[in-house]
Amino acid sequence: MLHIDPWEKVAECERYLQAAGDSTHRKILTDVRDLWIGLANARNFLTAAEFDQQVETLNSVQADLIKVH
């Protein structure tokens, strides 16, 4: 089980957005941030397993994005 707070990931995306200069990178970061917000808002409607799966997937996407840029 991952112990990742989606709202912390939203804040992390915001920090990366502040540093991003490329408009494409900014758009992708904005989309990832919005996905974290959606996941945080949907948390009460998901089982723990569903939530963990979504966190794991989205965390991996964000990590890959950050490595590339």
Q: What is the pLDDT of residues 24-65, one digit of tens each?
A: 989 999 999 999 999 999 999 999 999 999 999 999 999 888
Q: Terminus-to-terminus CA distance in the chain, angstroms?
A: 28
CB 67 within 8 A of CB 44: no
* pLDDT number for residue 43: 95
Q: How far apart are CA 39 and CA 21, in angstroms?
A: 26
- Band (pLDDT 50/70/90 cuts) for residue 67 is confident
Q: How far apart are CA 47 and CA 8, in angstroms?
A: 20
User: Under 8 Å CB-to-CB from 19, ≥6 apart: which residues?
Assistant: none
* pLDDT number for residue 36: 97
